[in-house]
Structure formats: C-alpha cells, structure tokens
Amino acid sequence: MLKSCVITNEIQNFTFDAIGVVESPYQEKFAIPRQPNLVSAAKGKVILVGEANNHELVRGIEQFSHLWLIFVFHGTQGQGWKPLVRPPRLGGNMKTGVLATRSTFRPNPIGMSVVKLDKVVTEKQQTVLHLSGLDLLNGTPIIDIKPYVPYSDAIIGADAGFAQQQPETTLTVEFSNKAQTDLAQYTQKYSELALFIEQVLKQDPRPAYKQGKVDNKTYGMSLYDLNIQWQLTTLDTVLVLNITQINK
C-alpha cells in the first residue's frame, strides 16, 4: 500500500560555508566564456579554506579527469534577479524563463561548472586543486566539488534547445606589432598568454546584440594582471592592439 505524502508550504533557509575560493585569470565578468572548456588555456586554482583545507577531503580525486564545481555568482548576486532573461545565444533579443537558461541572475545565485583537473598539490598544509578550462571569476566562492562521471553526466542524444551545438568560433585573432612586443615581456610569466588571449577573443566577448557586426570601438579586458585592448576590424578579424600591466 502506498503511504500518503504531506506537502507543506514551509520554506526552509539554508546556510553554506565556502569550502574553497577560485584563483582565476578572469578579473571581471567581461570576457569570461559563457560556458566552461571553451577556453582550454584558462588555467586556475581552487584553494581549499577553513575546515575543508584538509587533504583527506580530496583523497582519490585525481582518479577523475574532470570535476563539477558548485559555486556562488558573487560578482552579480547583488544585482538581484528577474523571472525572464535574454540569453546571448538568442542574440540578447528574446526573453526566456531564467530557469531555462544558465544566466548568472538567478533566484539563488548558484552555478555549476565542469573543469579539467590538472593536479592536486598540498604544501605547507595548504591544499590546492589546479584546473584548466575555467570560466569563473577570480575570488569565486566554491560550496561543493564533485567528480564528473562520463557515463552518467554525458547523456548522448539529449536535447539542449537553443544551445544544442557549441557556438562557432570563426574569428581570426591577429596581434599588432605593439601587441607582439608587449607579449614578449609577459611570456615568461604566462607561457600560454598568446593562446589564452586568442581563445578568449575567438568567443567574441562583446554584448550579444553586437555579435556578427563590426564596430570601431576599442575594447579592453582584464586577464591576470594585464589589460588587453582590441578591436574587431572586420566581420571575421580581431586585432589585439596592446597589452599593459594593470597598476594596483
């Protein structure tokens, strides 16, 4: 016999402590790829904190090539949320229910991201997970980490609506003579800097309504401690103008 189930309208509140914090090359929301693993050269770390800074918590985790990071959209949570949003994949012109998107502006500002685990290092009682394919803002609080399990998490034949296919990256990225000279100054510190910049710009980080259009605006983006200025010179060409150190 089936037992009856009583549903109440009682609302529960939950409080979570961060178990880690992200160290990321992305210093601002602009230029962060809209999904993880679109920019493989994006290297970062999760630094475990508090009681979670215990190597026992991640024992055996290196058996898995990829991890789910459950995190808080700390950079946008103060802006609140609305039931309808304008997904970039729809050109920023069509409204869709927020729960039918991966918008950062959610009833609870919680996100999830799959990243590649490169290695785990514990030194001087500090455990750090080294990652790549990152799409998270520097300083992002991590509230949980789970292994990515291919047979369960990758569902063949699943429908993804307006985001069924990975966005095409048809842009060509070129570096001006000045930018090439600037690159030479920072290559020793950031060995994959040119590739990183190229992969980020191929995603065309401009607002959705400008994609597929040429404008003469000079854009800037912050990666690591660097400011990169660039322009879209043709429909399929991005020119990096210069790379400068950010004064802090």
What pLDDT, on the 0 to 100 scale, is given for residue 128? 98
List the CATH code of the domain at 20-74+109-153. 2.40.30.70
Q: Beta-carbon neighbour count of residue 218 at 10 Å? A: 12
What pLDDT, on the 0 to 100 scale, is given for residue 3? 43
Residue showing tokens 């309808």: 84
Name residue 201's amino acid: L
What pLDDT, on the 0 to 100 scale, is given for residue 6? 53
Which is more confident, 4 or 180? 180
Count Cα neighbours of 215 within 13 Å in the Cβ-side half-sphere. 12
Q: Do domains 20-74+109-153 and 167-245 have the same CATH topology?
A: no
* Range 167-245 has CATH code 3.30.2310.10: yes
Q: Is 34 buried (19+), middle (13-18) or exposed (0-12) by CB count in 10 A? A: middle
pLDDT category at 4 given cuts 50, 70, 90 is very low
Distance, CA of 115 to CA of 191 (rounded, Å): 20
Domain boundaries, given as residue ranges, for the chain: 20-74+109-153, 167-245
pLDDT category at 119 given cuts 50, 70, 90 is very high
pLDDT in tens, 174-222: 999 999 999 999 988 998 999 999 999 998 888 877 877 888 899 999 9
Q: Counting runs of H as helices and runs of E as strands, what totals does the chain give?
A: 3, 12
Cβ contact 228:30 at 8 Å:
no
Q: How far apart are the first and last CA of the chain?
A: 68
DSSP per-residue letters across 23-58 = E-SB-SSTT--SSTTS-TT-EEEEEE-GGG--GGGG
Average pLDDT, the chain: 88
